Amino acid sequence: MTSWLALLLVGLVAPGAGASGPPPTLERDASTCESADVAPDATISACRSLLRLGGIDRADQAVIFFVLGRAYDLNGDKGRAIANYSAAISLDPDFAWAYYDRGRAYYGKGEYERAVADNDAALRLEPDDAAAFNNRGIAYLGEGNLDRAIAEFGQAIRLNPGLAPAFYNRGFAFFRESRFDRAIADFSEAIRLAPKDAAGFGARGAALLREHDSDHAISDFDRAIALEPGTAALFSLRGAAWFDSRCQLLPFTAKATPGEVWKTVHWLLV
């Protein structure tokens, strides 16, 4: 074990413990707490066991609380995730990743203003973090501030031109503004960067449908369905595209709001 927790174990083992090393239970908890390959419940149990020990310095405690926050996040418990990220930040106010992940959790609870504030803090500490710009843009989308969202996604793209979610999310912002040509261009770039992601094809298909380009929309929905055959909304949209192609009447597509179309896909946090 060569990680930060290995060094933590060295500090926790009493000088008289002998050459055998840390107790097996302690070593197992440390290994489980930091592992990304175990179930969240196992991470939570192991990390909480470590926190019950004495002698852990503030920086290491902050990391353990951060790992706990991520485990609760994976379990869908946003409240406890936020509490543990907050504990990590209290112990280490310069912990950029804790602000970043707490911002994600706030976004998941619909608390967009707090999500923006946490990404502000993360970017003060890591000003070139493209993912934080992307996630702050999503929070602005949640608030309905499309211009700010587009600017944030643009900055994320300038910092990391290979960040497919930023193109995808900016495409959605353009979609919301009915700027379908710009949306299609961004969705196309997202597809080029992530060709196995059904969301990009579904989103571009929705934009093409709003442009009444039914044949290309159908093709995109076909490809999205091939990648995610369990997404019912894709079949509905493909049906609307077939209707548009055959009847040219568009009673569904002309009235469908971006929110209704967007049931097919989702914004992409990174």
Number of domains in the chain: 1
Kindly state whether residue 57 falls inside one of the protein's structural domains.
Answer: yes
Q: What is the mean pLDDT of residues 37-46?
A: 89
pLDDT digits (tens, 9 = 90+) for 233-255: 999 999 989 988 876 544 444 44
Residue 25: which CATH number? 1.25.40.10
Would 56 be classed as within a structural domain?
yes
User: Would residue 62 count as lying in a domain?
Assistant: yes
Long-range contacts (CB closer than 8 Å, 24 or more residues apart) made by 11-17:
11/55, 11/56, 11/57, 12/53, 12/55, 12/56
The answer to the question of residue 35 being in a domain is: yes
Cβ contacts of residue 237 below 8 Å, gap of 6+? 202, 205, 206, 209, 217, 221, 261, 264
pTM: 0.81
State the amino acid at position 145 in one-letter form: N
pLDDT tens digits, one per residue of 71-121:
999 999 999 999 999 999 999 999 999 999 999 999 999 999 999 999 999
Q: Is residue 49 part of a domain?
A: yes
User: Is position 89 within any domain?
Assistant: yes
Is 225 part of a structural domain of the chain? no
Expressed as residue numbers, the domain containing 44 is 21-95
Residue 162 falls within a domain, yes or no?
no
Tell me the per-residue pLDDT of 124-169, one tens digit each, with 9 for 90 and over: 999 999 999 999 999 999 999 999 999 999 999 999 999 999 999 9
